[in-house]
Structure 1
Amino acid sequence: MNQSLSPEKYIKTRARTLKIDRCLVNGDWNSSMFAHVIIIRKHTNGNFTFAGYLVDLLCLGVKDTFYGFNHYEEEMEELLETYGLENEMVEIEYALAHNIIFAGEELASEYHIPQHRDFVNITKYLLEEDDEKVPLIEIHTGDKDGLPHLIVTSSDANLSALACLKKFAGEGNYHYTVLGEEGLIEGGDYFGEDDEDDEDEELNDDFLDCHLWTEDDWRSFISDLTQENYSLFLQEFSYIFLMAITKPGLKERGLDITHELSIADKGVDWNENGEENEYIKTPEEGVAIEKIYNQITKKGVSSKEIKKVLSTIQDCIKKWPNNPLFRNYQYNAYLLLDDIDRAEAEIFETLRLFPDYLVGKTIYADYLIAYERIDEVPDVFKSKRYLFELYSDRSSFHINEFMHFYTSWLFYYTSKEDYVMADFYARILEMMPEDLLRDKQHSLLDMMDIQRTMLVLKLVSKSKENTEEMDKLISMLINDQAR
């Protein structure tokens, strides 16, 4: 084994060469529509690398995942136990495990619901390629009507997924359920009237996640957290950060996070159209833009190729001087050639010619942050928190504009170390379909995960040392439905 590889790099590049040792799933996955799948692979040295996948077959797909690398068997069993798999697990063939996971992913992808970042970036590679080599097994997804069914523990949970359903499924083509007290359901009918009581009881058990934890649950969780196991609980840490840091922090600023998140994507065309294409006036222009984009973003593109594309871009600027997209590509070409002076000159020229061009504004904001002129950034966006406020004369926005605008605010607030607002903008960006996010967005979101973990660990440490601090923290974490 090449010990120079990180666990993540090893899983991405070599995990598929390891023999599959066994696959597990909770025995009631087909009736509950929630599958806890575990794939275990064995190294030639006798150790194990494994991954777990929490798959919501009703709507969300792979909503959580975890992994362990190169563990002794005893360590592996202990970690799996620490993860808290309470459902009775049964051993299954790999093909079934594979189809369960990818059936959930396919359902979610149909409605542009992003999958867990660790699944996309890491644990997906512990699975075999999803191709014809793996036997296809039909897995039922969605509810009894075949519709996606989003079930949440509170009305302010998973607003991004609800927004995706509204946009891509359309009203009447999905079900939405908010769990009330004692598992009562509001807003949707999935299980039918005949067996309502029994199914509600089972459903309540399935959804006993941190949103519904009691005071005792939280005390136990906090008390049991250690330096060795905290990395298994990123979802719980994100919830703690939201409830104990972001939500009260926004409230102090007169903002309600539920309302703010609900309006953040106003006017955004999630079908990737919108008015960014208003600059393209002819089919010929559109073809030229697509060709340049494909050339300039090609993996492993050489300096010689970039210089050739740059010449094409400059010809297009002369031919279509009123299109700022070519200016943006010229800026990126200069960056790829490490010609910083010309890239910077292009920033100012683009803003001079197209003062309202959003991407030009976001590039200039990055420039200000890089040169420690961070306090000038809000003026670039007229201190407007949302796209529809900055461009009040427009009714629709391209999804790329959505991404660029909120990335700038996330970058600004992380640079200011204002992690209340940074977390807010991170959660807006997390509405984006995972496959549309780029390296910059992934880096900023990964940075926020680190900050969430660090700050939550401080809160937890403080609460362990002081009973009053423990009580204060837990009071912020308990959802009204769990009181």
Structure 2
Amino acid sequence: MARKSKPQKTTFNPISYLKSGNARKLPMHECLIPKSWQEDKKFPILFSRKHVNGNLTFVSVLVDLLCTGAKDVLFFVNEPDFIYHEILETYEENLLVEFVPVNYELIHNIIFESVAFAEEYGIAPHEDFRFVEMILEEDTDDFPRIDVPLGENGKAHLHLNEGDDRIKYFEHQILKYGKEGTYEIFYHDHEGVFDDDFEDDEGFEDYLMNSCLFWEEEDWEDYYENIDLEDLPIDIVYHIIPRLPDYDYEKMKQEKLFAPFTKIQSTDKPTSKSDYSKREREKMHEIFELLQDWDAIDIEPNPSIINKIENEIKQSPNNRILLQYKWEYFHRIQADEKTIEIALEMKRKFPDYLFGLTCHAQTLIELEKVDEIPDAMNNLHKLQDLDPKRKKFHTTELLAFYSPWIYYYSMTGQIRAAFFLMRLLIELEVLGDMSLHPMVLEAYREATSKIVSAYLSKVKSGYISKDDFIEKMMI
């Protein structure tokens, strides 16, 4: 499943770069693993390194802890970060994976321990794993070790699914090298044991490889001849729009309108010290945990939670976070009028509180009251307008503040502004662990799809030549 090289206009050769050892010298960017990896047993791992130009070299390893180890791999060298985020979004939205950041030692041990386990049964990792190793840290004897749960009940469990092109290899190897009583083989005629989580009807690998992210020149030639404006896949949209002249993000950052937005930094560390008492912090944490654990699927009120929140607000009337928790409670049970009321109360009592603005705006998004969003945000378009002295903002602040504007711009036809803010959040590494509100994402997708559809209409009509189109797609 490794990414095939595409035509290059420069002398840069990804494989030569990896073999030079320079990839390992790049600083680590992100280590992501599914939250439920220990239960899933088979899952993708994402590891990335960052170049000085902002591009990423990264890998995706499909790990099977039950038997086959590094079953499949993808690797990308010096690619724009939007490709990384498109793949991450594919996993999260289409394959229902919830990623969490972890330290490198954990993913290193998971990958190499699963490979070693598979090798006990004569099963080698995917043939392109050798390139993945050049991006990962070297697996030396003194590398810190972490116990990784392998197999099931002390045995390797080999699941053979119809359509897997390595099915004969897996079966042959485990029968030849596996000791009797140390493994079990499960045959699946149709859907595999992992289908619910990671594989569609055609299989995990086929799903990803069908994406235009992996297309070569002949694939784009075929697409040029068969453009279907009625069926525009989102990966096509996300691939094309940053390649359009008006949507060149690097040039947009130099424009007078957008340049000021870039004068901030993001962080996942606390940006201020808590002014709350020990008792308040304990009570806030307690309420936060109650809200996290509360299953509000049936939209049923929970009197014990709201009573606790109300009581604490009486004890600490100047605690804005408690008021935000009150908003969260009524938002969870979809009491729209009440959420508006509480959001306005937050803004009145704490006019400089960012989340007072964004709670108001989020309620308006869900009520589809687009025109009221600027007023809800106090007509502040840049986050630093809220606090001009600050240069660094928490990722949650960035996401909360710019999400309503992405929605507003998308819904009102200001697509360049929506696109710029989306790319800004990607550049500031906001969208790795967090995602946009579904209504914001849908509005953005529809808006950008219209832009790409208009461009493809020109392509289809012959206004844009085949050569120009393919050259642009291969950049």
Q: TM-score, normalised by structure 2?
A: 0.54
One-letter code aligned to 2:137:
G
Aligned to 1:290: 285
Alignment partner of 2:90 out of 118, 122, 126: 118
Aligned partners of 1:351 and 1:360 also within 8 Å? yes
Aligned to 2:332: 336
- 1:164-175 matches, cutoff 5 A: none
The 1:382/1:285 distance shift into structure 2, 3 A limit, reads same
One-letter code aligned to 2:321:
L
Aligned to 1:150: none
Aligned to 1:222: 224
Aligned to 2:458: 462
Q: Determine the C-alpha separation between the residues in 1 that align with 2:232 and 2:67.
A: 29
The 1:118/1:320 distance shift into structure 2, 3 A limit, reads same
Q: Determine the C-alpha separation between the residues in 2 that align with 1:114 and 1:419.
A: 19
- 1:385-400 matches, cutoff 5 A: 385-400=381-396
Aligned to 1:270: 268
Q: Determine the C-alpha separation between the residues in 2 that align with 1:359 and 1:473.
A: 46
Q: Does 1:61 align with 2:31?
A: no
Structural RMSD (CA): 5.1
Q: Deviations over 1:266-299 (max 9, x none)?
A: 242223x223x64x42233222222212211325
Alignment partner of 1:326 out of 307, 322, 326: 322
Q: Does 1:300 align with 2:295?
A: yes
The 1:251/1:435 distance shift into structure 2, 3 A limit, reads closer
Q: Determine the C-alpha separation between the residues in 2 that align with 1:407 and 1:338.
A: 20
Aligned to 1:96: 69
The 1:94/1:333 distance shift into structure 2, 3 A limit, reads same
The 1:319/1:53 distance shift into structure 2, 3 A limit, reads closer
Q: Percent identity?
A: 16
Q: Determine the C-alpha separation between the residues in 2 that align with 1:327 and 1:132.
A: 42
- 1:436-475 matches, cutoff 5 A: 436-437=434-435, 441-466=437-462, 468-470=463-465, 474=469
Structure showing the higher helix proportion among its residues: 1
Q: Determine the C-alpha separation between the residues in 1 that align with 2:242 and 2:3.
A: 30
- Indicate the SS of the match to 1:295: helix
Alignment partner of 1:415 out of 405, 411, 416: 411
Aligned to 2:115: 137
Q: Determine the C-alpha separation between the residues in 1 that align with 2:242 and 2:4.
A: 33
Shift of 1:313: 0.8
User: How many correspondences in the alignment?
Assistant: 329
The 1:25/1:268 distance shift into structure 2, 3 A limit, reads closer
Aligned to 1:435: 433
Shift of 1:324: 0.9
Q: Determine the C-alpha separation between the residues in 1 that align with 2:386 and 2:402.
A: 12
Q: Determine the C-alpha separation between the residues in 2 that align with 1:236 and 1:423.
A: 15
One-letter code aligned to 2:323:
R
Shift of 1:320: 1.9
- Indicate the SS of the match to 1:136: helix
Aligned to 2:240: 240
The 1:445/1:27 distance shift into structure 2, 3 A limit, reads closer
One-letter code aligned to 1:286:
R
Q: Determine the C-alpha separation between the residues in 1 that align with 2:368 and 2:447.
A: 21
Q: Determine the C-alpha separation between the residues in 1 that align with 2:281 and 2:368.
A: 37
One-letter code aligned to 1:346:
I
Aligned partners of 2:425 and 2:431 also within 8 Å? no
Q: Deviations over 1:217-253 (max 9, x none)?
A: 966652344479853xx44532321232752799799
One-letter code aligned to 1:238:
Y
The 1:115/1:322 distance shift into structure 2, 3 A limit, reads farther
Alignment partner of 1:146 out of 113, 137, 140: 137
Q: Determine the C-alpha separation between the residues in 2 that align with 1:134 and 1:334.
A: 47
Aligned partners of 2:383 and 2:401 also within 8 Å? yes
- Indicate the SS of the match to 2:68: helix
Shift of 1:210: 7.9
One-letter code aligned to 2:314:
K
